[in-house]
A and B are shown apart, each in its own frame.
Chain A
Amino acid sequence: GAGVSQTPSNKVTEKGKYVELRCDPISGHTALYWYRQSLGQGPEFLIYFQGTGAADDSGLPNDRFFAVRPEGSVSTLKIQRTERGDSAVYLCASTDPSANYGYTFGSGTRLTVV
């Protein structure tokens, strides 16, 4: 596609429920990143994929968070047993590593846990 697509754009869920957030990167971009942006803060790194594998998952806050990218394109961020503190905007970005840090960000998914 022309840009990075994230779905849904908004998600409201009850505390304790499971959610999945989807990121569809730019075609051909091998690197994919997830960030979390809390209200009034800058985005915080969660996880980075190079192809199908998670090259760096050091930003995942705990084991309730998990992400996959099985075919090296679309990625899904999964959050189990959601807590109110998980409420944030989840941003996805993709890049071609040869592009010298030319990231493209999606518009994000606003997750609200009630």
Chain B
Amino acid sequence: AQSVTQLGSHVSVSEGALVLLRCNYSSSVPPYLFWYVQYPNQGLQLLLKYTSAATLVKGINGFEAEFKKSETSFHLTKPSAHMSDAAEYFCAAARSNTGKLIFGQGTTLQVKP
């Protein structure tokens, strides 16, 4: 069965520091992969998605992610954290024709001034 694992339920960085949020998927066939952000009391907002085109995917708000098949990973990065980046981040995968998303358990990003 397909699964998504996010390493680290909480990540804390200083403002201006590199952000790295880790995601690994379990699948024999590379799935479609997504990163979503969720601010308090709001729905999920798509940051970026991988759909078998370029392995380095650029998203909104300066985020990007690299698909590495050999490592079954899709880690999210941002060169310089802003206070406004503090939120919950979810990695997700879809494989079947239904397109239903399988989510990781989420990573809370804290940005310290």
* A interface residue count range (under 10 / 10 to 19 / 20 to 34 / 35 or more): 20 to 34
Instruction: Pick the contact of A42: B43, B99, B105 (CB < 8 A).
Output: B105
**Chain B residues positioned under 8 Å from A35 (CB to CB):** 101, 103
Hey, which bits of chain B sit against chain A, CB under 8 A?
A: 4, 9, 32, 34, 36, 41-46, 49, 51, 90, 92, 94, 98-106
In contact, B100 and A48 (Cβ under 8 angstroms): yes
> Nearest chain A CB to B111's CB is how many angstroms away?
20
Q: Which residues of A contact B (CB under 8 A)?
A: 4, 31, 33, 35, 40-45, 48, 50, 55-56, 59, 91, 93, 95, 97, 100-103, 105-108
Taking a contact as CB atoms closer than 8 A, the residue among B43, B51, B99, B100 that contacts A91 in the complex is B43
Instruction: Pick the 3 closest A-B CB pairs, nearest first.
Output: A42-B103, A105-B43, A105-B44
Chain A residues lying within 8 Å of B42, measured Cβ to Cβ, are 107
Contact B106 A41 (CB under 8 A): yes
The 18 sampled A-B contact pairs (Cβ below 8 Å) are A31-B99, A33-B100, A33-B101, A35-B103, A42-B103, A42-B104, A43-B90, A43-B103, A45-B102, A59-B100, A91-B43, A101-B94, A102-B46, A105-B36, A105-B45, A106-B43, A107-B41, A107-B42
